[in-house]
Amino acid sequence: MTEHKSGFVAIVGRPNVGKSTLLNRVVGQKIAIMSDKAQTTRNKIQGVYTTEDTQIVFIDTPGIHKPQHRLGDYMVNEAYDALQEVEAVLFMISADEKRGKGDNLIMERLQKLSVPVYLVVNKIDKIHPDDLLPVIQDYSEQMSFAEVVPVSATQGNNFETLTQLLEDQMPAGPQYFPDEQITDHPEYFIVAEFIREKVLLLTREEIPHSVAVLIDAVSRDENDKIHIQATIFVERDSQKGIIIGKGGQMLKHIGTKARQDIEKMLGDKVYLELWVKVQKDWRDRQQSLNNFGYKK
């Protein structure tokens, strides 16, 4: 018998490069919410990849950006925190975007690490193949990478190459999570995230960033249907109006879409009841951040 191998791998990069999409693809199920909005991901989230003799715990992180409020500070800390005690780091970039200050800032940090850093060039489906090499060259001139892996997180190109590289890299170690477990977060966390994702999908401008979701109650009725009550928090009265929408249409839409994702995850029928409340400027208030789970 070969010795069991395991380890932790952090996924870092600017907002919107596709980190959460990669995580979901690796574990084969949606555990991290995704959107075209920057700062969708607010907490570290572990996705567990298990084979017969290897377990890799991928850590998805909030995009590294310049914080504008306390929530932002928390998010960037979460990202840098994930770099502690990992066996490898995936530095993810988007093939169709120019290297920016944010990338340089991240690379400055990564260069100080003693573990291998892989350059994962995502969204190759969006570029002409001829444009790939210049991107790789540009980044490789900034720092040296253990390996460069071009991928498409939405289409799955090169995922076997990526996981195989990482499997080979893992040291001897225990299985941290049971075979069937795919994330460290409890289901209620993911349920709240699914609801927040639909708000991100259906609203614009500052609303997505002003929203937090808390699960108030979960119960099962005599027909085995799961009843979930949740509250969507916003920062201002005007935002509350937008979330509820004319005649409650927006809230209904959010609920319907979220319910579909929740039912898929739980494998049961769900009755979802949503409330909207205003919590003024919560993103800058430590007490609110603590309540919403954005605390150390």
What's the token pair of residue 113? 């690490």
Residue 246 CB: number of other CB atoms within 10 A? 7
Per-residue interface string for the shown chain with ligand GDP, residues 23-62, x marking contact by CB under 6 A: -----------xxx---xx---------------------
**Distance (Å, rounded) from C-alpha 33 to C-alpha 18?**
11
* Subset of 19-78 contacting K ion (CB under 5 A): 40
Nearer to ligand GDP, 43 or 291 (CB): 43
Task: Count residues near ligand GDP (CB under 6 A).
Answer: 21
* 18 marked among binding-site residues: yes
**Distance (Å, rounded) from C-alpha 48 to C-alpha 56?**
6
Does position 288 interact with K ion (CB under 5 A)? The reply is no
CB of 61 to ligand GDP, least distance (A): 8
- CA 125 to the chain's CA centroid: 21
**Distance (Å, rounded) from C-alpha 43 to C-alpha 32?**
10
**Distance (Å, rounded) from C-alpha 196 to C-alpha 201?**
9
| Of the candidate residues 126, 220, 227, 280, the single one contacting ligand GDP (CB under 6 A) | 126
* 63 marked among binding-site residues: yes
Does position 122 interact with Mg ion (CB under 5 A)? The reply is no
Host H or E run for residue 283: none
Per-residue interface string for the shown chain with ligand GDP, residues 73-112, x marking contact by CB under 6 A: ----------------------------------------
CB of 258 to Mg ion, least distance (A): 18
* Cβ within 8 Å of residue 230, ≥6 positions away: 191, 192, 195, 213, 214, 215, 216, 272, 273, 274, 275
CB of 84 to ligand GDP, least distance (A): 20
Nearer to ligand GDP, 15 or 67 (CB): 15
SS3 122: strand
Query: What are the distances in angstroms from CA 175 to CA 5, 26, 29, 50, 172?
Result: 8, 17, 20, 9, 10
Burial 41-56 (b: 16+ CB within 10 A, else e): bbbbbbbbbbeeebbb
SS3 91: strand
Nearer to K ion, 41 or 50 (CB): 41
| Of the candidate residues 6, 9, 16, 191, the single one contacting K ion (CB under 5 A) | 16
Nearer to Mg ion, 64 or 228 (CB): 64
Q: Which does 17 bind (CB under 5 to 8 A by kind): K ion, Mg ion, ligand GDP, none?
A: ligand GDP
Could you list the residues that contact K ion (CB under 5 A)? 16, 40
Could you list the residues that contact Mg ion (CB under 5 A)? 19-20, 41
Could you list the residues that contact ligand GDP (CB under 6 A)? 13, 15-21, 34-36, 40-41, 63, 122-123, 125-126, 152-154
Annotated binding site for GTP: which residue ranges? 13-20, 60-64, 122-125
